[in-house]
Structure 1
Amino acid sequence: MECERNRQAEIYEFLKGYTESKGYPPTVREICKAVSLSSTSTVHGHLQRLEKKGLIKRDPTKPRALEIVEISVPKKEMIDIPIIGKIKKRLPILSPENIEDMFPIPLDYIKHDNELFMLRVSGQSMVNIGIRDKDLAIIENTENVINGDIVVALINDVITIKRFFKEKDHIRLQPENDSMKPILVDDCKILGKLLGIFRSFK
């Protein structure tokens, strides 16, 4: 009897630890492996007893529908970041007409109060620093940039992502690709500064 209680406690502690670290419960077979039991029916018996004690809740129709009663995993608060499509002339970057979709990101990842938007990268001009075609660039909506910042610039109604340098009598927008030359302009509109990249491997 003492051995059975110890095994039940072992299963319960594994359930708690697994659920806290993964955010979802283990399957019965994963429990078997963790506590060195070969019989799934034995584990089911322990789970039934844990449920009767009010320590867990289960949905028998679903393999992972198990809830540790004392654990209440807080849901992350999300924020929707607009994905900018084609820029309409003379409209602010975050005008509804420019937004093609929204992208949810956990609020914990946002470290400042400025507005953010996302742009889909086109081309390989920044490939040396790991920014690739079709990546989603996460941009801080600001005009305040310094030399060396990676910026989103608007030149003749064309958006480009380059490294920014304010030089003596011009602005240099420097690609991070050895085969490409810098863009030299008298002036340009800065739409924002790069904060990060999202890439899908699908």
Structure 2
Amino acid sequence: MLTRKQLELLDFIKTRMDIDGVPPSFDEMKDALDLRSKSGIHRLITALEERGFIRRLAHRARALEIIKLPDAMDKPGFTPRVIAGDKPAAAAPRAAMAVETVHAMELPVMGRIAAGVPIEAISEVSHHVAVPGSMLAGRGNHYALEVKGDSMIEAGINDGDIVVIREQNTAENGDIVVALVDDAEATLKRFRRKGGMIALEAANPAYETRMLPDHQVKVQGRLVGLIRSY
């Protein structure tokens, strides 16, 4: 899962490589993401490399290789798009000016979701958050939740993060889902079906896997994106 800025940078790098055949410079990345310094780009590049999305090639200038793309991008018909900064058009890099601008979509933040011990079911909108359209997984309704707790930290989900959820009532083994337990408690966990039981798995060894009869668990949505504020 990527933060908004990480996703924007990956979009921009792939788009420029598709256009020019070479990655953009750090200055071009900085301008495209409207960052004040190249140190922010260095941090984003490092994060993308640590998550296995890109690789830096040694002894070659501006040498980046894209290894994989997030699920939301790596599908037929997907065209990478980048959120442009608010600088005047004359100051923008030539290639960046040709890239289509992404318009963020407003999603309702439906309160908080426990990445830990389940909390009361979520039913009210607390506020709205702007989400890049490229983060949304195809058709369907989406909503956002603020994460509370640390049980999913090894999946890259921290306390205070905003998770983007695609509304659906089914899940594949291994999906990270919003699960409603006994129509009363909501939690963010990895979903696995084992016979007539549902395993809700944490991504933190400090928390045990919960095994519940399948009739006690209702899938409310699947995780498709994450937003983190620094």
User: Can you give the 5+ residue segments of structure 2 that lack an aligned partner in the other structure?
Assistant: 1-26, 35-85, 114-120
Letter in 1 for 2:154: N
2:139 is aligned, of 113, 117, 122, to 113
Question: Residues 65 and 177 from structure 1, CA distance in 2 versus in 1: closer, same or farther, beyond 3 angstroms?
Answer: closer
Trace 1:35-50 onto structure 2 (pairs within 5 A): none
2:220 to 171, 184, 191: 191
Note if 1:103 corresponds to 2:126: no
Q: Secondary structure at the match of 2:154?
A: helix
Which residue does the alignment assign to 1:44? none
Contact map agreement 1:151 1:193 (CA 8 A) in 2 = yes
- Is 1:68 the equivalent of 2:77? no
Gaps of 5+ in 1: 1-17, 26-63
Task: Confirm or deny: 8 A CA contact 2:201 2:209 kept in the other structure.
Answer: yes
Is contact 1:86-1:98 (8 Å) kept?
A: no
In the alignment, residue 134 of structure 1 is paired with which amino acid? Answer: G
CA 1:67/1:158 → structure 2, altered by over 3 Å: closer, same or farther?
Answer: same
Cα gap change, 1:73/1:122 in structure 2, threshold over 3 Å: closer, same or farther?
same
Contact 2:136 2:142 in 1 (8 A): no
160, 185, 206: which is aligned to 1:179? 206
> What is aligned with 1:22?
31
* Identity, % of aligned positions: 27
- 1:179 shift after superposition: 1.5
Secondary structure in 1 matching 2:178: strand
Question: Relative to 1, partners in 2 of residues 1:66 and 1:121: Cα closer, same or farther, differing over 3 Å?
Answer: closer
CA shift in 2, pair 1:124/1:142, >3 Å: same
Distance in 1 (CA, whole Å) between partners of 2:178 and 2:33 is 39
CA distance in 2, matches of 1:65, 1:128: 37
CA contact (8 A) 1:126 1:162 kept: yes
- How far apart in 2 are the matches of 1:115 and 1:166? 24
Q: Is contact 2:136-2:225 (8 Å) kept? A: no
Q: Secondary structure at the match of 2:168?
A: coil
Structure 2 residue identity aligned to 1:155: V
**Distance (whole Å) between structure 2 residues aligned to residue 124 and residue 21 of structure 1:** 32
Higher gyration radius (CA): 1
Higher relative contact order (CA 8 A, sep 6+): 2
Aligned counterpart in structure 1 of residue 190 of structure 2, from 163, 168, 172: 163
Pairing 1:144–2:170 present: yes
2:149 aligned partner: 123
> How far did 1:169 drift?
2.6
| Letter aligned with residue 183 of structure 1 | R
Deviation at 1:23, TM superposition (A): 5.1
Structure 2: distance between partners of 1:184 and 1:24: 44
User: 1:132 aligns to what?
Assistant: 158
Regions of 4+ moved over 6 Å: 18-21, 69-73
Deviation at 1:79, TM superposition (A): 1.1
Cα offsets for 1:27-58 (capped at 9, x unmatched): xxxxxxxxxxxxxxxxxxxxxxxxxxxxxxxx
Q: CA deviation at 1:67?
A: 4.8
Distance 1:68 1:82, change over 3 A: same
The one-letter amino acid of 1:22's match is: D
Count of matched residue positions in the alignment of Structure 1 and Structure 2: 140
Contact 1:117–1:141 (8 Å) recurs in 2: yes
